[in-house]
Structure 1
């Protein structure tokens, strides 16, 4: 068990590099992850079940005690990122499934790696986890609503099916994880310790599946434009998230938490829903986002940590 925990910590340190290398490998050898393609929803459910296992009643009490920053951070996330996605699609003249994929990843809840970045930067991890939890629980309502409003000009949006799928894939595993944690408590500490490793492997498998399904289309004229769009989407999310938190007059740790919570997306969920309800091409923005936001988040958290040290 200790060796698995140690390996998990090592993989966390090099996770961005692992994602990039695994994506390149699957691009060169697409048959490697072809078996994963029909199973991405189960992998995502496993990731979110792990999230539920780490949650306790104290996490929900914390939301109830300090609801305003959590609500404002969640509202900022669901206003800024979908709005930016829609605007970038117009500016860059994206069409069809590619545009829908950009809007889909923009409409997803906060990324699971945002709490790691908040921790590394010296941010308010409790606030970060609270926003992540609330935005994820709201995902079954927000994703179909936002896609119906912003993406129906590009693709047909199966809003009801998206709601039911997101409820089943996202909320049910989280609640199951919370219930099991409540029942068994410290008896499952050993499992909780290795859940980050299981989640990291599941994310890698999802990335591999999306690259495998799209290897012939990733570097076409239409899809290469997605790379700068995704980068701008993420970076503008950081800037606007930080500006919003600054405008609210929050302290620096809270500013960091909201910045990461706004700018980082649950791209694994975006890729899974894109593969299930649209064409594989719609999953490309989520895959690129998954790679890029880990790079940008690592750079920003490192800079912020060093900057904070120098300023104190």
Structure 2
């Protein structure tokens, strides 16, 4: 059984492509992901499972890292919640995206870093402890910052309730992480065993979300695919590049610079997709940027991890 889960973990991108191919052939096969069971949003439930799993891998010292590395943590968080949202807004303006795609792109920029950044940082021989702490802290403060920044950037164009978005993020993100953290604290042996399975579970959940969103918006994607794909690719690479610039200018070592760059490139795209579906119901295509970003960041991230390890951190 462990071999199967390890295979899924090690071949995540191939599995993503497989899910995308299946969705293109059978658009409705994953439509149930966007539905509800007993009034509970299935996509939100799936995301909560991922975040609970993330919580079981964390320890309280991940949150005290800010006192050990205040500069690195501070720079990373400021970059996360300033550079990525403003970059998304700028690209939406340059490419004249419509309201729905702009909203989805903004959410990709305002959500916290994705958990996959930790894996890519490890492969790139970056500062893994810094990566885990940045992901954890940016995720915990996201209920406040994601709705606030989103309403500041697009509140004049799309009407939504930031308080309700705050509550959604608390339910989807904060509560599962806290529960996972407590389970890890109380039952460390149990959570240690879970580590063999959680990455694969998270991978499958992300694939299901991608399949559900792509299938529901397949016609719209065919119409605007080249534009949004170009924007997504630019958002990722410019984010990584700006992470390098910020890290370098703040005087970090290469391991830390690499980590901040990866953290900026990897967003919790599943969360952005869920928030778009929940809070922008009149703009269904707003879910598309998050789904496409998830596919792209894992492809590009795997390649960058190899390049970073070979050319930037090889002496480490």
Give the shorter-chain TM-score range.
over 0.9
Hey, what does 1:241 align to over in structure 2? 243
Aligned to 1:53: 56
Secondary structure of 1:217's partner?
helix
Per-residue deviation at 1:190?
2.1
Contact 1:136 1:170 in 2 (8 A): yes
Shift of 1:194: 1.2
How far apart, CA to CA, are the structure 1 residues paired with 2:64 and 2:191?
Answer: 22
Alignment of 1:106-255 (within 5 A): 106-220=109-223, 222-255=224-257
Q: d(CA) in 2 for partners of 1:154 and 1:106?
A: 17
Q: Find the aligned partners of 2:314 and 2:146 in 1 and give their Cα distance.
A: 41
Paired residue for 1:7?
4
Change in CA separation of 1:101 and 1:173 when aligned onto 2, cut-off 3 Å? same
In 2, are the aligned partners of 1:95 and 1:154 still within 8 Å (CA)? Answer: no
Per-residue CA distance 1:15-58 (angstroms, 9 max, x = gap): 11211220221122122111111210000000000000011123
Structure 2 residue aligned with 1:262, among 261, 264, 284?
A: 264
Q: Alignment partner for residue 28 of structure 1, among 25, 28, 34?
A: 25
Q: 1:310 to 1:129 in 2, by over 3 A?
A: closer
Offset, 1:80: 0.7
Asked if structure 2 preserves the Cα contact closer than 8 Å seen for 1:271 and 1:286, the reply is yes
Asked if residue 305 in structure 1 is aligned to residue 302 in structure 2, the reply is no
- Count of residues in correspondence between the two structures: 308
Local SS of the residue matching 1:291: helix
Task: After the TM superposition, list the runs of 4 or more consecutive aligned residues in structure 1 that deviate by more than 3 angstroms.
Answer: 308-312
The CA RMSD measured in Å over matched residues stands at 1.5
State the 1:9 CA deviation. 2.5
The structure-2 alpha-carbon separation of the partners of 1:311 and 1:9, relative to structure 1 and needing over 3 Å to count, comes to: same
8 Å CA contact 2:88, 2:105 repeated in 1: yes
Deviation at 1:310, TM superposition (A): 6.1
For residue 147 of structure 1, give the secondary structure of its aligned residue in structure 2: helix
- Which piece of structure 1 moves more, 94-103 or 151-160? 151-160
* 3-state SS, counterpart of residue 30 of structure 1: coil
Query: 1:102 touches 1:285 (CA, 8 Å); kept in 2?
Result: yes
Q: Please name the residue that 1:85 is paired with.
A: 88
Q: CA deviation at 1:163?
A: 0.6
Q: Shift in Å at residue 131 of structure 1? A: 0.6
Give CA deviations for 1:107-146 in whole Å, capped at 9, x if unaligned: 1100111111111111001001111111101111111111
- 1:13 to partner: Cα distance: 2.3
TM-score, normalization by structure 1: 0.95
Alpha-carbon distance in structure 2 between the residues aligned to 1:97 and 1:259 = 28
Q: Which moved more, 1:52-61 or 1:244-253?
A: 52-61
* Bigger helix share: 1
Runs of 5+ in structure 2 lacking a partner? 36-41
Change (3 A) 1:308 1:60: same
Instruction: Give 2:279's match in structure 1, choosing from 255, 268, 277.
Output: 277
